[in-house]
Amino acid sequence: MSIEMKAKSTIEQSNSIEFSGVVYRINDIPGRSIVCSTNLTVSRGETLILLGRSGSGKTTLLRLINRMLLPTSGQVLVEGLPTTEWGPIRLRRGIGYVIQEAGLFPHFTVAENVGLVPELEKWDRARIAARVEEMLRLVGLDPAEFSKRHPRELSGGQRQRVGVARALAADPPILLMDEPFGALDPVTRAELQREFGDLARRLNKTIVFVTHDLREALLLASRIVLLEAGCIVATAAPRDFLRIDHPEVKAFTACLDLDPGASS
Amino acid sequence: MNTWTFFWDHRADILSATLDHMTLVAIAMAIAILIGVPLGMFIVQRPTLRALSLGIANIFQTIPSLALFGFLIPIPFIGGIGKRTAIVALVLYALLPILRNTYVGLTGIDHAVLEAAEAMGMTSGQILWRVRFPLALAVILAGIRTATVITIGVATIAAAIGAGGLGSFIFRGVALVNDSLLLAGAVPAALLALLADFLLGLLERRLRVL
């Protein structure tokens, strides 16, 4: 973790991430905003779920946090500092990132993938090796069996576990996840969701998690933010979410009713 | 029968012409790689230069090889009769496959991998050298392989401007209507091309990651 981040976090308030009047649009399309004026705070240690259909702007919001995108207007504060003032490299090394296809480096072994950010941060070798082992155990992979494998020798679920281990390796205070379990079969997905839920509770990280799966949201969230066409239309704790009277919420809960596996 | 005895009698000449030919190809390929690969890396982020350099390389490829050798003769410094002119022409020919494959290899990488690399806080230099380049290597090598095979063939024509090599047998064979002479140039050239293709193919498969 960066020194700046630690220093900031002790001084600043309990907000880990804050969107303040954030608008994002692409130059060529002046009329339409990808993200309309957004205000949102994410508290330290919470698991915030961004829920919405494809194209609702949830991934865009995520990418605004680690400065993969910069807001057209307004600002995104990470640990109290606007992303525009963070150097992109520094900022991103302090933020874990997990995406749908895991995005593991095919030419790296599992151990090299997991140890990448510590290595970029110039940790010494013994410390990296110990950390990699610890991370693999944390996500339920036996280091002796998996360290030397390449991503192509893993199942989809195992790859995603490695993706989570890699994101956590340098112990970042923030974790961004973009439909991390979206490409998995339903059984593996349920397994990983359950395990990740336990992990998230133990780790006390600030997690922003994008999904279009309401069940996943209900399972993992401390708070759900529903997006529609780039705007936040509802924010609620999971237990209150289903009671919200909004057409887009109804649209999502309707899918839940249709799904026989959803009750319980 | 006649041809075999001819080959045997002139084995020293054929061998030395083959070595000449290989030297010509090796020098031209080394230069083409030293220009093509870095240029291919350079144009990844620069669309205008990309269109321009791929366009120019493409044009060279469309000029008939004999004509290209001819065009180069009157040009000062690089032109004239001999090996130097031949090498310039061969480099121009070899450039397109190398340049194009380098560019395609570097840009054809799984988007998720590049996104992860960027999001983990790798600098653009680290992404190029540690992610893009190793993953593109097999494709770049495929371009080098294609270019080598082309160059071995085109280099036979270089004899027309006095560059020597296996082409000298072929040109003499054509002029004298002598099949044995013709084959003394053509057979080793074909074997060289096959051998280069095979060896570089082996290397390429070893480097292929997925």
Chain A residues touching B209 at Cβ < 8 A: 106-107, 152
Q: At residue A263, does pLDDT exceed 50? A: no
Answer yes or no: are the C-beta atoms of B30 and B178 closer than 8 Å: no
Which residues touch A5 (CB under 8 Å, ≥6 apart)? Answer: A79, A94, A173
pLDDT in tens, A81-119: 999 999 999 999 999 999 988 899 999 999 999 999 999
Residue of B114, B120, B127 to mutate, interface with A, max A Cβ within 10 Å: B120
Q: Does the complex come out with an ipTM higher than 0.90?
A: no
Nearest to A97 among B116, B135, B209 (CB): B116
Nearest to B209 among A88, A89, A107 (CB): A107
Answer yes or no: are the C-beta atoms of A16 and A91 closer than 8 Å: no
Q: Which residue is listed with tokens 């680690």?
A: A66
Q: Find, among B159, B38, B49, the residue nearest to B106 by Cα.
A: B38
Which 8-state DSSP code applies to residue B131? I
- Residue A9's pLDDT is 46
Nearest to B135 among A92, A103, A106 (CB): A106
Q: How far is B59 from chain A (nearest CA, A)?
A: 34
pLDDT in tens, A166-188: 999 999 999 999 999 988 999 99
Nearest to B210 among A100, A106, A166 (CB): A106
Interface contact flag, B119 A90, Cβ < 8 Å: no
CA torsion through residues A106, A112, A114, A118, sign: negative
Q: What is the pTM of this model?
A: 0.82
Give pLDDT tens digits along chain B (210 positions): 578 888 888 899 999 999 999 999 999 999 999 999 999 999 988 999 999 999 999 998 888 888 888 888 888 877 778 888 999 999 999 999 999 999 999 999 999 999 999 999 999 999 999 999 999 999 999 999 999 999 999 999 989 888 889 999 999 999 999 999 999 999 999 999 999 999 999 999 888 765
Indicate the length of chain B as a whole number: 210
Which residues touch B67 (CB under 8 Å, ≥6 apart)? Answer: none
Chain B residues touching A102 at Cβ < 8 A: 112, 116
